[in-house]
Amino acid sequence: MKKILLITTGGTIACRQTSEGLAPDISDNSLISLRGLPPGFQVTVKPLFRLDSSNIQPEEWQRIAHTVAEEYRHYDGIVLTHGTDTMAYTASALSFMLHNIKVPLVLTGSQLPLTHLLTDGIENLRCAFAMAASGNPGVFVAFHRKVILGTRAVKVRTFAMDAFESINYPYIACIDAKGLVINKSALPKASGDFMLNDKICNRVFLLKLTPGLDPDIFDALLKMNYRGIVIEAFGVGGLNFIRRDLVAKLRMMIKAGVTIVVCSQCLYEPSDFSIYQTGRKVLETGVLEAKDMTTEAAVTKLMWVLGQTGDADEIRRLYTENCAGEYSTGRFSPDEMDERQ
């Protein structure tokens, strides 16, 4: 009998139709009693909040992290129900905050409420419970018969049940006629003691580069006391420097003590700012490169790093360190990567 802690935070899976639209309203015990789960689990339900995930912010990440840190020793695994819209941000943030977690922590939710006749919530919960009982520690997202590493999950569809993808990384597990089939080579390689590192800085801004962007936006961000900026640059890596010189502004921001991270707007494959002149000019300013990280991981990692230290050298060291599988290490074959699709 596996002991599973079910932490509930709201989201579509717990929604009912109201006069103002869908809103989290289902009682927490209904998540396991409404349709039932297969036998073999001893489930404890711990409600934290009933929120649409658009309202789950860094303060909620910290509360979730504290709850997990306080409770994980008493359970074989933890399932966290969460709205889909910001699930990838929460999964990434928890991956950094819960260093070397010793049990599986599995986030899941649904595209249709649990009360709906055609809900996908039951199937997603069963997949999450199976992964939580697997004995493989780490932070994961379970959705549509797939399990994804927490720092690699991205919501890529708004309505389809197959809402999440694993970006630049194989699936941790899939469900087929054999049951839950785990890809052991894709599991995170944890070592050392568990540590709760929950300090976080929410003064991080995400900027998607567009042709002709006014460089003065950086002056405004500096006046607003942002400590970090993540820039989604073009293609393999580039920012304009003719007429509207963004490179000069980046140099100014870094001298002012703001940490700048650059990544690609492309969802798949890594950035490489060393290839083109535009990218090399960016690297010369002292920015950090996100390589093949998801935007969600790049943003939450910067928030987490800036929460740990204000020292520029330590910021660079922490950000370039592969903390929770957010960077690729080149250890997967093309066939394994193809399985992601």
pLDDT tens, position by position, 258-272: 999 999 999 999 988
* pLDDT recorded at residue 268: 94
Of residues 176, 184, 174, 167, the one with CA closest to residue 270 = 167
HEC per residue, 109-172: CCCCCCCCCCCCHHHHHHHHHHHHCCCCCEEEEEECCEEEEHHHEEECCCCCCCCEEECCCCCC
Q: Which residue has the higher pLDDT, 341 or 164?
A: 164
Give the pairing of strands 179-182 and 195-196.
Answer: unpaired
Q: Can you tell me whether residue 37 is helix, strand or coil?
A: coil
Establish whether 12 is a catalytic residue.
yes
- Kindly report the backbone phi and psi dihedral angles of residue 158, in degrees, each rounded to the nearest multiple of 5, phi listed first: -90, -35
pLDDT exceeds 90 at position 96: yes
pLDDT more than 70, % of the chain: 92
DSSP 90: H
**Mean pLDDT, residues 102-113:** 96
How many angstroms separate the Cα of 287 from the Cα of each of 58, 189, 324?
24, 28, 21
Q: Show Cβ contacts of residue 217 under 8 Å, excluding neighbours closer than 6 positions.
A: 207
What lies within 8 Å, CB to CB, of 4 at 6+ separation is 41, 42, 43, 44, 75, 76, 77, 78, 79, 129, 132, 133
Strand order in the sheet with 146-149: 41-51, 2-10, 77-81, 104-108, 138-143, 146-149, 173-176, 179-182
DSSP structural state of residue 57: -
Q: What is the per-residue pLDDT across 172-230, written as a single tens digit (0 to 9) for each? A: 999 999 999 999 999 988 778 999 999 999 999 999 999 999 999 999 999 999 999 99
Local confidence band at 36 (pLDDT 50, 70, 90 cut-offs): low
Domains in the chain with CATH codes? 2-196 (3.40.50.1170), 204-320 (3.40.50.40)
Residue 333 above 70 pLDDT?
A: no
Q: What is the distance between the terminal CA atoms of the chain, rounded to a whole angstrom? A: 34
pTM above 0.85, yes or no: yes
More confident: 30 or 126: 126
Predicted pLDDT of residue 34: 46
pLDDT by residue (tens digit) across 311-320? 999 999 999 9
One of 8, 9, 12, 278 is an active-site residue; which one? 12
- Exposure of 123 by Cβ count < 10 A (0-12 exposed, 13-18 middle, 19+ buried)? middle
Average pLDDT in the chain:
90
Instruction: Taking residues 231-248, report their average pLDDT.
Output: 86
Task: Look at residue 279 in the predicted model and tell me its pLDDT.
Answer: 77
pLDDT, average across residues 63-90: 97
**Length of the chain (residues):** 341
| Strand, helix or coil for residue 55 | helix
What is the pLDDT confidence band of residue 341, given thresholds at 50, 70 and 90? very low
Predicted pLDDT of residue 332? 53
**The Cα angle at residue 296 between residues 53 and 139, in degrees rounded to 5:** 75
Q: Per-residue pLDDT averaged across 302-310, rounded? A: 97
Examine the pLDDT at 90 and tell me if it is beyond 80.
yes
